[in-house]
């Protein structure tokens, strides 16, 4: 077999990165936009000793789960890898992704239930991060997601997985930036003004916080005037911020953010609590699915403990801690982002919560210094998961159970394996579909010490 060879294969399984898997002569082939059950003619695009990559030339026999994507841009935009698969089967494939990761990486043979479905599968995404560039000749602004495996921007005019108002705000920015002398970013040359546009939209009231990420260290009059124009154009835009990122990096947001006009936050409601979300604070992209997760964790604590002490680590704006406060005796949260801690403190006042203690700093360093023991520890680390040292400290600080919230089945499985080696028992794992039409899946694992 060689590159550009064509052959007919049957798609047998689904990979953890959203590719269909076929096998021929002992070689594993990963096929783009393929669904288990498809019989397809493919062309080999990459070849290694142990596997190959391929793309579909022709669908000979479609899987019963293959559907027409509701977005015309699905095949060229990298955001919704699974939109050509019916939603119920998407959930089954994600269940299999979690189950396979637990067995192959974690050595954990546990029954994984179907993910809790997202309440909405369209207009669900309430955080938008569009990279910005411009065309070479006309200098027309481009805004959208990257094509798969590239840094080429797909200029998206309409995206059905986000609220419709987002299209209008982005289109205004795209069409009016040049009027204010704002250029698009050239990644190769590290030149131009506008690198990204980040929108946060409240599912509670539709308010929008706009953040312009710019390739500079301080603002200037043209940029300020552009920010004010965006604010004045849309009633639902309640604030426009500037984030400064002049580094040669793939990281979207720089460390410094300045509010130019309006408020530097939106408010969101989860269960019965109101939270302030800022430009530089972490918050889930799908608020309704997030609410299912917070309710699940709160109900678990309420059902299994009587007014416990709770540790909320990697806390963000302390959503788990504040949501669980009224079924807990005491909650202690730790978060390294100062802005997140500030917003959490403000949310405590809004919700009249007085039994949550918020700490700003590195979680690993906090663990080492902390002497108190907690009945329950909630950990919600980034995709890379936890270090062994951090897991050791959480074990030291926890008397009852660890509730591990993860957006990455692979690192979750790795960390659960380590905890099991330390004598813990994985009681349950419940997936939640936070990221509809993608291969990403959120999980809540309950670990008995």
**Where in the sequence numbering do the catalytic residues fall?**
407
Q: Which of 59, 84, 82, 56 is nearest to 70 (CA)?
A: 84
Q: Long-range CB contacts (< 8 A, 24+ apart) of 267-270? A: 267/202, 267/204, 267/205, 267/207, 268/202, 268/203, 268/204, 269/203, 269/204, 270/294, 270/319, 270/323
Query: In 172-235, at which residue ranges do the beta strands (DSSP E only) sit?
Result: 194-201, 208-214
- Of 339, 332, 342, give the one whose Cα is nearest residue 363: 332
Q: Would you state the structure tokens that stand for residue 205, as one six-digit string?
A: 């009231």
Alpha-carbon span 143 to 185, nearest angstrom: 11
How many C-beta atoms lie closer than 10 Å to residue 3's C-beta?
12
- Helix H or strand E segment including 391: helix 388-397
- Measured between alpha carbons, how far is 335 from 294 in angstroms, rounded to an integer? 18
Q: How far is CA 101 from the centre of its chain?
A: 19
Cα 206 to chain centroid, rounded? 20
Beta bridge partners of 331: 310, 356
Element (H, E) at 374: strand 374-379
Nearest 10 degrees: Cα torsion 236, 240, 246, 247: -50
CA distances from 227 to 60, 180, 231, 420 (A): 51, 10, 6, 52
For 85, residues 6+ apart whose C-beta sits below 8 A from its C-beta are 35, 63, 65, 66, 67, 93
Beta-carbon count within 10 A of 104 CB:
12
Stretch (H or E) spanning 31: strand 27-31
How buried is residue 25: exposed, middle or buried, by Cβ count under 10 Å (0-12/13-18/19+)?
Answer: exposed
């Amino acid at each position: 077999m060689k590159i550009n060879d064509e052959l007919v294969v049957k798609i047998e399984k689904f990979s953890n990165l959203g590719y269909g898997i076929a096998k021929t002569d002992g070689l594993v082939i990963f096929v783009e936009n393929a669904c288990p059950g498809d019989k397809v003619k493919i062309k080999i695009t990459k070849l290694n000793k142990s596997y190959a990559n391929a793309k579909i030339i022709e669908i000979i026999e479609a899987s019963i789960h293959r559907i027409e994507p509701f977005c015309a841009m699905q095949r060229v935009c990298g955001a919704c890898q699974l939109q050509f698969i019916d939603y119920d089967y998407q959930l089954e494939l994600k269940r299999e992704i979690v189950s396979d990761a637990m067995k192959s990486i974690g050595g954990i043979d546990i029954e994984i239930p179907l993910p809790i479905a997202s309440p909405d599968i369209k207009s669900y995404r309430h955080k938008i991060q569009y990279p910005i560039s411009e065309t070479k000749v006309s200098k027309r602004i481009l805004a959208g997601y990257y094509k798969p495996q590239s840094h080429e921007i797909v200029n998206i005019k309409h995206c059905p997985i986000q609220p419709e108002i987002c299209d209008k705000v982005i289109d205004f920015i795209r069409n009016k930036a040049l009027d204010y002398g704002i250029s698009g970013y050239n990644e190769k040359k590290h030149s131009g003004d506008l690198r990204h546009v980040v929108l946060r939209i409240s599912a509670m009231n539709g308010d929008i916080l706009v953040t312009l990420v710019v390739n500079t260290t301080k603002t200037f009059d043209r940029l300020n005037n552009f920010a004010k124009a965006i604010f004045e154009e849309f009633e639902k835009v309640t604030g426009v911020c500037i984030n400064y990122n002049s580094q040669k990096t793939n990281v979207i947001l720089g460390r410094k953010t300045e509010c130019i006009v309006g408020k530097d936050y939106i408010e969101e409601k989860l269960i019965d609590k109101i939270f302030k979300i800022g430009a530089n604070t972490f918050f889930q992209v799908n608020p309704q699915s997030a609410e299912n997760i917070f309710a699940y964790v709160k109900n678990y604590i309420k059902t299994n403990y009587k007014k416990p002490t709770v540790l909320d680590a990697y806390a963000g704006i302390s959503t788990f801690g504040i949501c669980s406060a009224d079924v807990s005796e005491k909650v202690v949260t730790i978060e390294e982002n100062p802005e997140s801690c500030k917003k959490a403190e403000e949310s405590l006042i809004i919700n009249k919560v007085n039994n949550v203690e918020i700490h700003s700093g590195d979680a690993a360093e906090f663990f080492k210094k902390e002497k108190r023991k907690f009945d329950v520890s909630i950990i919600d680390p980034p995709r890379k998961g936890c270090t062994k040292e951090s897991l050791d400290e959480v074990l030291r600080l926890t008397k009852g159970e660890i509730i591990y919230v993860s957006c990455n089945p692979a690192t979750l499985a790795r960390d659960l394996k380590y905890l099991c080696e330390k004598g813990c028992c994985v009681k349950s794992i419940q997936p939640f579909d936070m990221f509809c039409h993608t291969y990403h899946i959120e999980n809540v694992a309950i670990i008995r010490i």
